[in-house]
């Protein structure tokens, strides 16, 4: 019987499968990479061969150029593929458009590397699909019992109320470029917000791509002030990357009201440090309940914990008699929290 460590093990390059000779989400260039999703810490350019969902491959090409790898292979969700006697399959992770968990199987042993995931609803991507497995590899970005995320809908309603309460102020919403920005916009549309939404130039290509994938983001316009009438931004929602709003660019808008959409906005000190007036707790990672409920639902015989607050989740497993260990993978600081 194969031991889990013989099928998948942490290495400095990332998770490595010795019998299949491939890496999952490598942090350094490798010969063969399987990629869970398009965030920059998981999907890097320079690998020789890349296998990922069609959306993740498109997103990598948008971000890095068509030459981000030498050969690419589309992984169709749910389809089983053979790599040197190892069976791999991709399953929705509910994190961002195209995001997938990767199941790796050999000799009756199945390990699921879930990448980043969440269980709460997201109108911009397919929902997380539980895959029974012997070893479940879970992220732990918000792996502490204090982290409990409200619904995205509830947070977006707070944003809409604020635009009504302060109709003269430009509402600047900081959101990561892949996933979060489009989710914020789509949530606004789903709540009936039908005014134009202004976006920073750094978001344009990915927003356009989401629209081509059937995610209707409505009337999006460039948030450019030069030569235009500043008045159009009064009470408007302007979405930009967090770095754009740290820049001089943001100070051109009328009486700006700083908002930021992130799971970290639950930590008041973080909101204060960033000068955020309206923190929106909208996370693309599972909170404590989502992480623990997922483990309980899957009932694996072993759990490996990575990305973030590993110890609390390892202890939670141990208290239930479930073997668990931290992977201590380095190089993953999610750009899309």
Q: Which residues of this protein are in contact with Zn ion, per CB under 5 A?
A: 39, 116, 334, 336
User: In angstroms, what is the minimal distance from the CB of 215 to Zn ion?
Assistant: 18
User: In angstroms, what is the minimal distance from the CB of 37 to Zn ion?
Assistant: 6
Q: Could you give the CA distance from residue 154 to residue 282 in angstroms, rounded to a whole number?
A: 9
User: In angstroms, what is the minimal distance from the CB of 222 to Zn ion?
Assistant: 26
Residues whose CB is less than 8 angstroms from the CB of residue 250 and which lie 6 or more positions away in sequence, other chains included: 172, 240, 244, 256, 258
User: In angstroms, what is the minimal distance from the CB of 96 to Zn ion?
Assistant: 6
Write down the residue that tokens 């102020």 correspond to.
Answer: 169
Closest by Cα among 250, 316, 307 to 284: 307
- Which CB, 162 or 266, lies closer to Zn ion? 266
User: In angstroms, what is the minimal distance from the CB of 65 to Zn ion?
Assistant: 21
- Which CB, 152 or 336, lies closer to Zn ion? 336
Q: How far is CA 127 from CA 12, 32, 119, 123, in A?
A: 31, 27, 7, 9
- Which CB, 116 or 122, lies closer to Zn ion? 116
Which tokens go with 193?
Answer: 């917000």
Exposure string over 294-333, b if 16+ CB within 10 A, otherwise e: bbeebebebbbbbbbbbebbbebbeeeebebebbebeebe
- Which CB, 40 or 322, lies closer to Zn ion? 40
- Which CB, 106 or 307, lies closer to Zn ion? 307
User: In angstroms, what is the minimal distance from the CB of 212 to Zn ion?
Assistant: 21
The bridge status of strand 22-24 relative to strand 14-17 is antiparallel
- Which CB, 39 or 169, lies closer to Zn ion? 39
């Amino acid at each position: 019987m194969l031991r889990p460590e013989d099928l998948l093990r942490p290495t400095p390059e990332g998770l490595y499968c010795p019998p299949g000779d491939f890496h999952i989400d490598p942090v350094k260039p490798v010969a063969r990479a399987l990629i869970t999703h398009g965030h920059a810490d998981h999907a890097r350019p320079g690998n020789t061969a890349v296998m990922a969902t069609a959306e993740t491959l498109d997103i990598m090409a948008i971000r890095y150029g068509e030459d981000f790898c030498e050969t690419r292979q589309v992984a169709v969700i749910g389809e089983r593929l053979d790599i040197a006697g190892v069976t791999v399959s991709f399953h929705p992770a509910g994190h961002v458009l195209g995001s997938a968990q990767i199941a790796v199987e050999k000799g009756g042993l199945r390990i699921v590397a879930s990448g980043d995931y969440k269980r709460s609803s997201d109108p911009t991507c397919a929902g997380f699909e539980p895959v029974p497995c012997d070893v479940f590899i879970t992220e732990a970005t918000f792996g502490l019992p204090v982290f409990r995320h409200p619904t995205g809908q509830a947070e977006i309603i707070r944003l809409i109320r604020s635009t009504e309460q302060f109709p003269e102020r430009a509402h600047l919403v900081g959101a990561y470029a892949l996933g979060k920005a489009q989710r914020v916009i789509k949530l606004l549309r789903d709540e009936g917000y039908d005014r134009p939404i202004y976006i920073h130039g750094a978001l344009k290509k990915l927003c356009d791509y989401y629209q081509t994938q059937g995610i209707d983001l409505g009337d999006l316009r460039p948030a450019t002030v030069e030569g235009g009438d500043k008045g159009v931004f009064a009470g408007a929602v302007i979405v930009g990357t967090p770095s754009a709003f740290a820049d001089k660019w943001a100070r051109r808008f009328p009486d700006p009201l700083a908002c930021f959409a992130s799971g970290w906005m639950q930590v008041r000190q973080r909101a204060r440090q960033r000068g955020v007036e309206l923190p929106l707790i909208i996370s693309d990672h599972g909170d404590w309940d989502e992480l623990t409920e997922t483990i309980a639902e899957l009932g694996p015989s072993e759990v490996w914990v990575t990305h973030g607050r590993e110890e609390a989740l390892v202890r939670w497993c141990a208290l239930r008699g479930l073997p668990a260990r931290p992977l201590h993978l380095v190089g993953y600081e999610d750009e899309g929290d």
